[in-house]
Structure 1
């Protein structure tokens, strides 16, 4: 199972946000989607899960996500949004986990293994203490973890994460991405994760795609894409890159914003 995106475009209000992008990933890989603010990262993943109208092709194991019906897409794709307002429901976390696995069934009776799958995943993510609570009572970071659990419990073939660690402390960032990496490999899925922390990308992503002005400027193995030269080009930041051989990834230390780099209006240097 693989994901192959070709000539992929997404427009909002007649304006092209994503422009003829191409990207590929294999089963078991995490692909980091990087880029400066306003590059189109969220729009990129929203087109894949049907929240934005897209053109081109996005072939996932023989199914074109761009032309697929909502029902076909829903069976294949798990999506964790930045805004988790949709979790403000009068249902417990455990009830939502069971419902997520049975929402498309023409029966009031849940599948026999739905309860086991829900419990196993909540335990794995360290969320069992929230099982009988409503998501509205949880913190932003806890809700992000619940959102991930709801996406994973359906066993997607493609997992889309839109800034999944934005509300998490350091320990929970690593815990979440450790679990995502393990499940991605064990279940042979493809994961696309929008990240702002380049060190999380070098630690977890096999491949990286970098967006700027709606176009993928660089795409390939993470070690080939996240380099001081590319960071300077895309972000306008000089940095130092250190090989952490024992850890198996690179650490990036930003040094300074380049004087020639144009910051967005209202941004302090």
Structure 2
């Protein structure tokens, strides 16, 4: 089973440590939500994991030191969906992009035989068949987010990193995307880490949470245990209430008020 282990993990921009001393272990089949206020370092942390920011420390995926791998080797293990989807503004159709994602490192002109089948399966999985012949540049932000997820999954990563994957999606598509991600993570025993702002999505879909504030790890653990009213108040400076939903399968969190020192003081 896939295992991810981080210890003493730092991410730097220039000479400054933006994310400092992160450590945790995750098993395959699990989803971790990364939560925290604006400026906490969530996106920087994700970029450090996938190699887009300079990072130090230990990051092992199934015993392999990701820090020691070449960019191509790391990309073969990690699927990354960024907030910004401008990289999809190319003169290729969605189907062509799915083929390229699988064969970009091949030296031969001919695509691998199974590539067409995998591209078709991924379009069907995410309900994107109607966009197969369309260029992503003409689609909405939410549709491009779904396509970015398809491009990450079609390569069958062991580690899936999602940076605010639902930010441009309506409610129905938020649920659809995260249900697909949850099912794919479970069935394929991969590890998914997702930056989320919606605490209710975290309680519903994430097995574990990593809480960040000012680039530091505040807490890590089982979602329902970590996202207590006291912890949310301390992290976000917002008073909340929580109720069990669906016979306690997850919690619904609703805000009451901003604490007196909450805005502009974190």
Shorter-chain TM-score bucket reads over 0.9
Aligned to 2:28: 27
CA contact (8 A) 1:47 1:66 kept: no
CA distance in 2, matches of 1:226, 1:68: 35
1:5 matched residue in structure 2: 6
Counterpart in the other structure of 2:68: 67
Matched residues in 2 for 1:260 and 1:162: separation?
28
Q: Deviations over 1:191-212 (max 9, x none)?
A: 0000000000000000000000
CA distance in 1, matches of 2:220, 2:248: 24
Residue 118 in 1 paired to residue 119 in 2? yes
Any idea what SS the aligned residue of 1:160 has?
A: strand
**Structure-2 separation of matches of 1:61 and 1:241:** 36
Paired residue for 1:165? 166
Q: What are the Cα deviations for residues 166-195 of structure 1, in whole angstroms up to 9, with x where unaligned? A: 000000000000000000011110000000
1:247 CA drift (Å): 6.8
Which residue of 2 is the match for residue 181 of structure 1?
Answer: 182
Inter-partner Cα distance in structure 1 for 2:255 and 2:22: 28
Give the number of equivalent residue pairs.
Answer: 265
TM-score scaled by length of structure 1: 0.96
Q: Unaligned 5+ residue runs, structure 2?
A: none
The 1:247–1:169 alpha-carbon spacing in structure 2 relative to 1, beyond 3 Å, is: farther
Over the aligned positions, Cα root-mean-square deviation in angstroms equals 1.1
- The 5 A counterparts of 1:48-87 are 48-87=49-88
Q: In the TM superposition, what is the alpha-carbon distance from 1:261 to its structure 2 partner?
A: 2.5
Mapped to 1, the partners of 2:145 and 2:32 lie a distance apart of 19
Report the alpha carbon displacement of residue 71 of structure 1 after superposing the two structures with TM.
1.6
Match of 2:201 in 1: 200
CA distance, structure 2, for counterparts of residue 68 and residue 227 of structure 1: 38
Provide structure 1 residue ranges, at least 5 long, that are not aligned to the other structure. Answer: none
* CA displacement at 1:64 relative to structure 2: 1.4
1:65-97 Cα distance to aligned partner (Å, 9 max, x none): 222211210110000000111111100000000
Asked if the contact 1:34–1:211 (Cα under 8 Å) also holds between the matched residues in 2, the reply is yes
Deviation at 1:124, TM superposition (A): 1.1
2:56 is paired with a residue whose SS is strand
> Normalising to structure 2: TM-score of the pair?
0.97
For 1:169 and 1:262, locate their aligned partners in 2 and report how far apart those are by CA, in whole Å.
Answer: 27
Cα deviation, residue 5, structure 1: 0.6
Query: Which aligned segments of 4 or more residues in structure 1 are displaced greater than 6 angstroms?
Result: none
Aligned to 2:256: 255
CA offset at residue 258 of structure 1?
0.6
Q: Following the alignment from structure 2 to structure 1, what is the Cα–Cα distance between the partners of residues 225 and 44?
A: 25
Deviations 1:208-254 (A, max 9, x none): 00000111101010011111010000000111100013372100011
Q: Give the distance between the partners of 1:116 and 1:147, measured in 2 at CA.
A: 18
Cα drift, residue 263 of structure 1:
2.2
